[in-house]
Amino acid sequence: MDEFALLQYALVALRSHLAGLRRDERGMTTETVIITAVLAALALTAGAIIVAKVTGKANSIPTD
């Protein structure tokens, strides 16, 4: 088998393996849910910090 044929075979095998991985979605749902939950918690934390800072600054403005 010459080098080009071996390279062609490896490329076809790799494409076939990658196509199989694209169809296989086991575990993807759990991972996606966990990542989404972490990102949502971070967004809520950031929002709470911003609201606290803005409220604190607004309360320190004199209204006399």
Kindly state the tokens that stand for 46: 């950031």
Sorted by sequence, the CB contacts under 8 Å of residue 1 that are 6+ apart come out as 9
Kindly state the tokens that stand for 8: 């062609």
Instruction: Give the pLDDT of residue 38.
Output: 94
Domain that residue 13 falls in: 3-59
| Coil, helix or strand at residue 64 | coil
Query: What's the pLDDT tens digit per position in 4-56?
Result: 787 788 888 888 888 877 776 666 677 788 899 999 999 999 999 999 999 99
The answer to whether the pTM exceeds 0.75 is: no
| Coil, helix or strand at residue 14 | helix
Report which of 26, 20, 25 is spatially closest to residue 12, judged by C-alpha positions: 20
Residue 64 lies in a domain: no
Q: Which residue has the higher pLDDT, 1 or 18?
A: 18
Instruction: Give the pLDDT of residue 28.
Output: 65
Kindly state the tokens that stand for 36: 């989404």
Instruction: Give the pLDDT of residue 32.
Output: 82
Residue 24 lies in a domain: yes
Instruction: Give the pLDDT of residue 8.
Output: 84
The number of domains in the chain is: 1
